[in-house]
Structure 1
Amino acid sequence: MKVWYVSKKFLLFLLFSSFSYGGEVFESLPDKINSSDKYVFYSHGLIVEGTDPTPIHERWGQYNFPAIKKELADLSYHLIATHRPAKTHPFKYAEQLSKQVTKLLKNGVPASNISLVGFSRGGFITAIASSNLKNMDINFVILAACTSGLAKKAEIDIYGHLFSVFETSDSVGSCDHVVARSVGTVSFYKEISISTGKEHGAFFIPRKEWIVPVKAWLKRKKPQ
């Protein structure tokens, strides 16, 4: 009985290990693309651009990029989180990001299985990529990035399914005004606010206040 039990467990392991649903963290888009998998891109804030993944801001403290990647990762999707070089041009980088998403689409990954998450400058890049892709089924998460600057960029329209999170003590607020400009392009919009009192720094570490709802939205079964 003991030998049979071990063998059964081994067979179950082989069965489930033959299916790849996600769970890995990549620095860039992996060479091997599985059309049935889900892919999430995370774009960090401006302060992380360069060589230091844990820089210190004089007001908001440490930005812990490794910790955010660890907590944002999930078995249900692959996480692609690139450490951008210093002085990255947001529009040029958004073009590169758009090309990676296009590669996924060309390899048979459904648009609804692709999500782009961005905080601050990373959220601005995410918005540009959304405007470039013009896809109504891709998922976008913008974290504290709907600044007045973005609102004034009339050439940038948000497309697809949008989830926005902002901190009430931060100077960067709601995405309502950006969405209002994107008439007929946002297929679904949901926004929540959090109140940690940490201003923009609320998103510098993986606080449960934003990590939990973001992951829940990314893992939702229905495309909304």
Structure 2
Amino acid sequence: MTLRLFFGVLCAAILLCGPAAASDRKMPDTIDPAKRYIFYLHGLYVERQGPYEAYHYYDILDDIEAEGFVVIGEARGLSNPGRYAKSLAAQVQTLLDAGVPSYHITVAGHSKGGLIALMASGILSRPGINYVVFAGCGRQGTEYRRGLGKFIRKDAATVDGVFLIAWAEDDNIAADCDDVMAVGKAKHTNKLLPAGQGGHRLFYEPKKLWLDLLFAHARGE
């Protein structure tokens, strides 16, 4: 092999074997009950536009993983929230059946992902699991309230767990989840985040402001 050919092959290999592409995080093949697990669900934007550009979903998963958690999440296509919640609840149950303590499991989501987390809680109806809902409950008078209203009427009574509900002060889409919490059995804390950080889009990219809340809640702090 000539020197020129060798370097040509080497350059091609570097291009093909460069940085790994961002990817979904599947359920681990081996479940360690000593570890802490976070399911993180994105909003509707990713279903329509993908996990790149404006919504940095894989960067969020990277930051959660870097904090020492086992992170589970995928870029969904257009999904029915109720059906997806059933699949999510089954994954959580797999961890529980493998001996993972409920307080080592956190189900978190933004916007539609937050609504799915609420629905999964209603299916599991287990007191010790942690949940974080970021801007997941539609404001009264908006179109985003429709799915939540149906859930409140039919299924919210079985919601259980330990919830952190957070949203931005200038979010014109989402607000608190008090109507859900009022009929369910869950414990919850509300956290209003300051305006000027992007409103509903605050959670489109990993920011210390809200990631620290997620990490602390997942650790029971």
Answer whether TM exceeds 0.5 for this pair. Answer: yes
Name the aligned partner's letter for residue 175 of structure 1.
C
Number of matched pairs: 187
- Write the letter of the residue equivalent to 2:155: I
2:217 is matched by which residue type in structure 1? W
Q: Which runs of 5+ in 1 are unaligned?
A: 1-24, 56-61
Runs of at least 4 residues off by over 6 Å:
none
Counterpart-to-counterpart distance in 2, 1:106 and 1:165 = 30
Please list every run of 5 or more consecutive structure 2 residues that lacks an aligned counterpart in the other structure. Answer: 1-22, 139-144
CA distance in 2, matches of 1:156, 1:206: 31
Question: Which structure has greater helix proportion?
Answer: 2
The alignment partner of 2:51 has SS state of coil
The CA deviation at 1:74 is 4.2
Relative to the length of structure 2, the TM-score reads 0.78
Q: Is the 8 A contact 1:27 1:83 kept in 2?
A: no
Task: Give per-residue Cα distances to partners, 1:107-129, cap 9 Å, x unaligned.
Answer: 11111111100100101111110
Q: Which amino acid aligns with 2:188?
A: Y
Give 1:217 deviation, angstroms: 1.6
Match of 1:66 among 40, 47, 58: 58
TM-score, with structure 1 as normaliser: 0.77
Deviation digits for residues 157-209 of structure 1, max 9, x if unmatched? 22110011111101211122221121xx11x2111011242221111111222
Q: Greater Rg, structure 1 or structure 2? A: 2
Question: How much is the aligned-residue C-alpha RMSD, in angstroms?
Answer: 1.8
**Cα distance change on mapping 1:92 and 1:152 into 2, 3 Å:** closer
Offset of 1:50 from its aligned partner?
5.8
Compare 157-166 and 147-156 and name the one that shifted more.
Answer: 147-156
Question: Contact between 1:26 and 1:79, CA under 8 Å: does it hold in 2?
Answer: no
d(CA) in 2 for partners of 1:143 and 1:156?
20
SS of residue paired to 1:49 = helix
1:132-166 deviation line (CA, Å, top 9, x unaligned): 00101111000001123314422232211001111
Contact 2:115 2:136 in 1 (8 A): yes
Give the whole-Å Cα distance in 2 for the aligned partners of 1:127 and 1:101.
13
Alpha-carbon distance in 2 for matches of 1:129, 1:135? 10
Of 54, 63, 71 in structure 2, the residue corresponding to residue 79 of structure 1 is 71
**Equivalent of residue 120 in structure 2, options 115, 129, 133:** 129
> Aligned pair 1:143/2:134, yes or no?
yes
Q: CA deviation at 1:220?
A: 2.8
Q: Does the CA contact (< 8 Å) of 1:49 and 1:87 recur in 2?
A: yes
Deviation per CA, 1:43-92: give whole Å up to 9, x if none.
0111112673114xxxxxx11112211222244421111111x2211111
